Structure 1
């Protein structure tokens, strides 16, 4: 497209012309003549401004085409790439799977803020670094773990493989990709053998030359124990729950230290039914005493929870959903019913986050001494 044509499109306010301009600029930038010049700070700032102003008005199919055009571009503006990565999954998929612009922290942020579908695409991304692998393992989302197990290029250590094999005891979908994983060892294969079906057992035995007689005896003993009602699961399950809490705390610490712990994570934790993770994240974001947060959740004063949420940047319009989800997960607490919810809305008065935080600390401290 000629420079005159581009100027004509730039002057037009018609949506179709704006979208043509968006794609034309992407084509121009992606030409073999663009080179390293596209990566200069001044050009990057200009491109980011142009693209962001145009993409917000673009229809879904145009954003999809733009995503496909920019997926492999190393010159694409970082802000635009991150916006597209958080778009509908069909738009985000090419970006998440290919874009060289997405870095470790960008991918970890997607694991925290985006949908399960986005997280699965992150886990499938080629050559995942160990930091991203660790974040996936720490969250422990079954579908995302399964996608990771099917990614042979991810930087998985022996310890990571051990964690995935242990998880496959409860998550059946993990077993097939793990049985075929190039980093599976003979020792781990022996453990996996006890949990998989007949076809996979035969494959593991052939691949690692396992002594199936010994393993089948162990399998039979395990099944007999289960049939006789002798449960050995209670203690390991408790241990795994404790490990999950530790891993969640490590994830929150990592996200917070990297500046990636955001208010949106609180909503996601509640939607996934993880009240403890919500409480820990709220305490970290607001620099609150974790005991005060827990006492608030167990109280009959939802206005205190509202103050804490206002202090960390939660919008007034979102709080009713937070309160409803919290009550469902916490046996109706914080109580107060509809009247309590009405009082809670007052906490979002036009005051600064610092004032809301100070008010929460004072009230929660008094609540803890009741």
Structure 2
């Protein structure tokens, strides 16, 4: 069965459906769609969509027709919703409520409308950041022309994956404050460094700051881009390497002393967390597991608990103790690392050396270069 818009003129359609659609009519339409094979569902939905557009779209189509359009989308198969989302990606005539609904659907359906729909406003994007999955939030961060209010909300959430996507979005409205915060965050989050070094909003001043903690390849790119004084930059980089927060210095000294006296144990990790000494935990974990300190810090900001679990396993911590460790770390670390499904870290038994190897694979920079 197909809807054919040419069987009614625009005036007749408006008169027939100008008021609210009777509930039994909506129910009949939905029941009809439910009982059809996918190809007929697609034809039925296409007919209603064409009719909605031809009668004025969101600015002129009868409310009843919009209700019918949205009700049909609720019951058709996922692949049909995906095809519809691709069709409506840049449409300005679709019902706003329908576009908002598609934007919260499974990510393959949501991606086209999040990326391009002119009907999604900053308020809609902020709700997506607050209420949807990591994949949805990443797509929001990648949206062309993203507004500064949404960019600031991403920075406030401090999710490493979403921030990295934002740094990769060269059309986002990143003001000086946003860029400065991203550069500061890149000191611990290595994935931010390469996209920031090439970002069109990067300034010579911010480039000089970024230079202090990036690898050799990115240092060369920064110097070539801004023609900065290499001698001055090297002095700044050495000063930054020597500068550390008092808590960090104290933690490094304490763990070095414990290790030298053969008193550094997995139990040290538990004790540090019970005493609210997160820096001691980080340094002790790095030394016990023989892992790079910067990589351990990144693991504590990850969007999954798996790297932290692997590091703890490499350090000799009993896996039965990890749920308590994760809970304490997240309490002191603004909810990081994320643990979205509560079971992402539950890996099969592995040796300390195997866990260390898997950790290093997970935490390696995307470009494969040392940072």
User: Could you tell me the TM-score, scaled by structure 2's length?
Assistant: 0.57
Query: Could you tell me whether the CA contact under 8 Å between 1:15 and 1:57 is conserved in 2?
Result: no
Deviation of 1:155 after TM superposition, in Å, equals 1.2
C-alpha contact (below 8 Å) 2:57/2:93 kept by paired residues = yes
Q: Residue 15 and residue 328 in structure 1: after superposition, are their counterparts in 2 closer, same or farther (change >3 A)?
A: farther
Match of 2:80 among 62, 72, 84: 62
Asked whether the 8 Å contact 1:26–1:70 carries over to 2, the reply is no
- CA displacement at 1:57 relative to structure 2: 1.3
What is the SS of the residue equivalent to 1:195?
A: coil
Structure 1 residues 202 and 99: alpha-carbon distance in aligned structure 2, compared to 1, 3 A threshold: same
Q: What's the secondary structure of 2:75's corresponding residue? A: coil
**Is structure 2 residue 156 aligned with structure 1 residue 138?**
yes
Deviation at 1:71, TM superposition (A): 1.0
Q: Which SS does the other structure have where 1:15 is aligned? A: coil
- What is the Cα deviation at residue 220 of structure 1? 3.4
CA deviations over 1:39-58 (Å, ceiling 9, x no partner)? 33653x23431122111211
Residue 19 of structure 1: aligned partner: 42
Query: For each residue in 1:88-117, what CA deviation from the matched residue of structure 2 results, as whole angstroms up to 9, or x when unmatched?
Result: 101000010011111111000000000111
Contact 1:148-1:154 within 8 A present in 2 as well: yes
**Aligned 8 A contact 1:26 1:66 in 2:** no
Q: Secondary structure at the match of 1:135?
A: helix
- Counterpart of 1:162 in structure 2 is 180
Q: Structure 1 residues 161, 39: CA separation in 2 closer, same or farther (over 3 Å shift)?
A: same
Pick from 52, 59, 79 the counterpart of residue 40 of structure 1.
59
Aligned length: 236
Provide the secondary structure at the position in 2 that maps to 1:73: coil
Aligned-pair distance for 1:59?
0.9
Change (3 A) 1:4 1:197: closer
- Is the partner of 1:56 in helix, strand or coil? helix
SS in 2 for 1:110: helix
Deviations 1:210-241 (A, max 9, x none): 11112223323444x3xxxx8436379xxxxx
Change (3 A) 1:147 1:6: farther
SS of 1:48's partner is helix
Q: Which residue of 2 aligns with 1:234?
A: 247
Does 2:120 correspond to 1:102?
A: yes
Whole-angstrom distance in 2 between the partners of 1:103 and 1:171: 30
User: What CA distance in whole angstroms lies between the structure 2 residues aligned with 1:213 and 1:163?
Assistant: 26
Give the aligned partner of residue 108 of structure 2.
90
**Secondary structure in 2 aligned to 1:94?**
helix
Q: Is the aligned partner of 1:111 residue 2:129?
A: yes
Kept in 1, the 8 Å contact 2:142–2:168? The answer is yes
Does 212-221 or 165-174 show the bigger shift? 212-221
Distance 1:169 1:92 in 2: 33
- Output aligned runs, 1:165-176, within 5 Å: 165-176=183-194
Radius of gyration: which is bigger? 2
Q: Indicate yes or no: 2:191 matched with 1:190.
A: no
Which secondary structure state, in structure 2, belongs to the residue aligned with residue 72 of structure 1? coil
1:6 to 1:203, Cα distance in 2 relative to 1, 3 A: farther
What secondary structure, in the 3-state scheme, does the structure 2 residue paired with 1:80 have? helix
Contact 1:19 1:54 in 2 (8 A): no
Structure 2 regions of 5+ residues with no counterpart? 9-27, 250-302, 306-322, 332-371
Please state whether the residue corresponding to 2:174 is helix, strand or coil: coil
The whole-number CA distance in structure 1 between the counterparts of 2:325 and 2:236 is 45
Seen in structure 2, the aligned counterparts of structure 1 residues 128 and 70 have a Cα distance that, compared at 3 Å, is: same
Q: Given the two structures, how large is their TM-score scaled by the length of structure 1? A: 0.57
CA deviations 1:105-135 (Å, max 9, x no partner) are 1000000000111001101111111111111
Q: Contact conserved, 2:5 with 2:50, CA < 8 A, in 1?
A: no
Note closer, same or farther for the CA distance 1:221–1:29 as it changes in structure 2 (3 Å cut). same
**Contact in 2 for aligned 1:107/1:132 (Cα 8 Å):** yes
Say if 1:6 and 1:116 are closer, same or farther in 2 by CA, change over 3 A: farther
Q: Structure 1 residues 91 and 117, CA, compared in 2 at 3 Å: closer, same or farther?
A: same
Whole-angstrom distance in 2 between the partners of 1:95 and 1:165: 30
305, 327, 330: which one aligns with 1:329: 327
Matches within 5 A, 1:117-128: 117-128=135-146
